[in-house]
Every structure is written in structure tokens, then in C-alpha cells.
Amino acid sequence: MENFAEDITRLIPKPEEEIVPSPRYQSKHQKRIRSEVASAKNAHRTLGLPSVPLNPPSQFLKKKSRIIPQKHVKHVHYRLPGYQHKLPEWKPKKIIPKSDLEELPKDPATLGRVNFRKENILNVKKSQPPEPVPRIVDSRFGDVQDLRKCGLMPMYITKKYFGKKPPKAKKVPEVKQVREWKQRSESRKGNLEMEEKPKGRYVTEDERAELLHGMKKNWEEKMNQFQRLPFLTDTLPKVKRKVKLENDLKQLEKDIEFIERHPYIYVCDDE
């Protein structure tokens, strides 16, 4: 059976392909890095010479025995441009003698030489003691009240007829008579108002046309707002707004139809 197991693809022998391995990766900095490492190899053997000189064993742990060299810093003196380093020249001030001054005014207010003692004595002589305010003790705890503010002061002394016979009082009408006078006056006023004012007012053609134009304009604005509403009414505020706009449009349509159907309109002035 093995002799008959032939493979058609192997009838024509093919030449063997040689697999060439890819070249090994080598960095272009390889030579430079090796030379740097070789040159710096000896530097890692020791830490180098000490920068600070060590003390001898005889001065071990002695205070202020170690001398640390300080670096020399060159000092540069900086001057501001235009800065005056010298003090100004001193000149003595001229003193004017008293003989050259003008005569002083004799008014004590302008001079400030007021005799305060004399003024205080005069003010005390002119002053008067304050008038005693009438008070009344309100409780056992000593609370007091002003009688003038409470209205408890005796004011009858300042009345017009104090110590005299008062005039006769006018006769006051009875309550029934006053009520009758009020009812008559009110009925008269109502009759006059009914006679003067008409019951209704006729709406002119210009007013009717202006009213129709305004209502149609309002209907267009409401319809524009209704058409701009979102398609989905998934929240309660959206539903309320849509229902309100629909009711307003229906009411406007009814009013427009009513006004167009009736050419003659009377309006009542009653409240």
C-alpha cells in the first residue's frame, strides 16, 4: 500500500531553499561606549583625593581643630545710576527778628487767646436748671412712665371754656332719621348714575377690525409655540405646557369665529 501512496505535488523535485539567518543587531554607539567605559574604569577604584584635609591623630575629636578652606568670593560693589551718595550742603536758616514782624491783631478769637475761665463763669451764671419731668411710679419695682406720653397730664387748664359756662350742645338727630337720610341720598345717586350712563357701548368697525387682527396675531404666535414643542411628551411639565397651548388655541378660534359671525357688537360697561 505504501508504493501506491503517491503525492502529485512531489512528482517534480524542487531545489532546496537555503535559509539565511538575519544579521545580528549591533548598535552604532558600541565602540564609543566601550572606549568610555575603558577610560573611566580606573576612576571607580578609589574615591579620589579628599577635598578637606584630615586632622592628625593627636587632634582627634578636638573642638575647632579642623580647618575648612573657604572659597574666595570676589566682592563687586554695585552703585545705582544717578544715586546721590553725598549729603546736600547745609545752609543756616535766616531768623527774622521780632522788630520786622507786623503788629498782631487785638481780636482774641483770631489770636486764639480766649479767656476760658471768664467764659465758663458767664455760662454758669446764665444757665438754668432743667424743668422736672412729671413721672408716675408704675410698679413696686420702681418702673416709671412719662405722664405726658401716657396722656395722664391734666390738660383741662388749657381748654377754651375753662372756668366758664360751656355752650349748649346741638341736638343730635335720632338714628332712624339718619338712616332715612342716607337711604334717600344713595337712591338719588343711583338714579342719577343710571340716567347719565348708557347701558351699553357700540363697537365700531375700526375697533372690531383691530380686535380681529390682534386675536389672529396671537393665534399665530401660539401656533408657532405649539409647533416648536418636542415630539415626545415624557415629562409632566411638557404635558402641562402642551395642554395649556391647546386650550388657548381653541379659545382663540372660538372668539375669532364669534366676532366674524356677528358684525354688530355692543359692550356693557358694568363691572
Q: Tell me the domain boundaries of the chain.
A: 200-268
| Strand runs labelled E in the chain | 135-137, 144-146, 200-202, 266-268
Higher pLDDT pick, 97 / 244: 244
The Cα 214–Cα 255 span in angstroms is 12
Mean pLDDT: which of 20-29, 33-42, 192-201 is highest? 20-29
The Cα 180–Cα 38 span in angstroms is 136
The Cα 67–Cα 54 span in angstroms is 9
Chain position carrying cell 578636638 = 62
Q: Nearest CA to 262 among 205, 218, 222, 206?
A: 205
The Cα 154–Cα 162 span in angstroms is 12
Backbone angles phi, psi at 211, to 5 degrees: -65, -45
> Among the listed ranges 36-40, 139-143, 212-216, which one has the minimum average pLDDT value?
139-143
User: DSSP label at 55?
Assistant: P
Residues 6+ apart with CB under 8 A from 198: 269
pTM: 0.29
The Cα 44–Cα 51 span in angstroms is 17
pLDDT (mean) for 132-158: 63
What would the grid cell of residue 143 be? 418702673
Higher pLDDT pick, 105 / 161: 161
Please state, as a whole number, how many other Cβ atoms lie within 10 Å of the Cβ of residue 215.
Answer: 15
Higher pLDDT pick, 82 / 246: 246
**Tens digits of per-residue pLDDT, 162-211?**
778 878 777 666 666 777 877 887 877 666 666 555 567 778 888 888 98
